[in-house]
Amino acid sequence: ATKMALRAGLRSKRGLTGVAVMRMQSPPVNSLNLELLTDICIALEKLEMDKSCRGLIITSNQPKVFSAGLDILEMYGKSPEHCGEFWKAVQEMWLKFYGSNLVTIAAINGSSPAGGCLMAMTCDYRIMADNPRYSIGLNETQLGIVAPFWFKDTLMNTVGHRTTEMALELGLLYSPAEALKIGMVDQLVPEDQVLTTATEAMTKWLAIPDHARQITKSMIRKPTIDKLMSNREDDVKNFVKFISKDSIQKSLGVYLEMLKKRKA
């Protein structure tokens, strides 16, 4: 099944050129499994190399959900080797997005917990649908797991130190209005205007000369990126060791059951 639709070099009625729209479509909830992560990375890599592409809008084709975060089934009951491969793909996605030379805008048209929130926070700008049923945040502790340092750093760079303490320790999921208040998202709009607003915002970002914006972005984000780059292997080892613990596997199993029961 196609996991992603990509329209590169989009020319809208308003004459916006050089902007790709990536629509995640991995039913039911765009959970980030190895396949989707790999597809996203390959697509982004191609866009980075395409000189005619200057901006990327990432959004969801699934109703009500931007992304449910990392696919728990990739971490539950799997071999250490598989968990290691999966984690490398998560790192790769983060490194590519956080370090992208493109203007990246997240058009968050649904809920975006955990890894979904991380992915949105790697972007330069976030627009979310103003629907109180949706939520966004890093809720890892609620699953009994610990977000690694680079998840924490991304959040801290976005919302600041004190808010990160509260958000991460309590595993808080925020409504769109709350997320706007703490700066986790930059703008709220009615659901049917998320993509058009993202396109409008893109116009503003593209008015800045690429080289000046790119060097500035790199100057701000490089220390955070370098931290993971110089600890990638240890980070994989730590993840595999942590996720393979019986107690953590038990917590994930309980959480998966809770998700299923909630549905019933």
Ligand X SMILES: CCCC/C=C\CC(=O)SCCNC(=O)CCNC(=O)[C@H](O)C(C)(C)COP(=O)(O)OP(=O)(O)OC[C@H]1O[C@@H](n2cnc3c(N)ncnc32)[C@H](O)[C@@H]1OP(=O)(O)O
From the candidates 32, 37, 55, 140, give the one annotated as an active-site residue. Answer: 140
What is the nearest approach in angstroms of ligand X to the Cβ of residue 226?
21
254 binds ligand X, rule: CB under 6 A: no
Helices within the chain (DSSP H only): 34-49, 80-98, 115-121, 149-159, 161-170, 176-182, 194-206, 210-229, 232-243, 246-263
Distance, in Å, from the CA atom of 227 to the CA atom of 235, rounded to the nearest integer, reads 11
- From the number of C-beta atoms within 10 Å of its C-beta (0-12, 13-18, 19+), residue 259 rates as exposed
Q: Name the active-site residue from 37, 137, 139, 188.
A: 139
Our answer to whether residue 140 is catalytic in this structure is yes
CB 136 within 8 A of CB 248: no
C-alpha distance from residue 22 to each of 8, 39, 49, 176, 192 (Å):
8, 11, 16, 22, 17
Q: Does 137 qualify as catalytic in the annotation?
A: no
DSSP 111: B
8 Å CB contact between 102 and 53:
yes
Cβ-in-10-Å burial (0-12, 13-18, 19+) of 8 comes to: middle
Pick 29 or 236: Cβ nearer ligand X: 29
Would residue 115 show up in a list of annotated catalytic residues for this protein? yes
The residue among 205 and 242 lying less far from ligand X, judged by its C-beta, is 242
Range 189-248, binding ligand X (CB under 6 A): 239, 242-243
For the chain, give the number of residues.
264
Site string for ligand X, 21-60 (x = CB under 6 A): -------xx-x-----------------------------
Q: Count residues near ligand X (CB under 6 A).
A: 28
- 109-168 residues in contact with ligand X (CB under 6 A) are 111, 113-115, 139-140, 143, 145-148
Nearer to ligand X, 219 or 264 (CB): 264
Catalytic one of 36, 70, 102, 155: 70
What are the residue numbers of the active site? 70, 115, 139-140
Question: Footprint of ligand X on this chain (CB under 6 A)?
Answer: 28-29, 31, 64-65, 68-73, 111, 113-115, 139-140, 143, 145-148, 239, 242-243, 259-260, 263
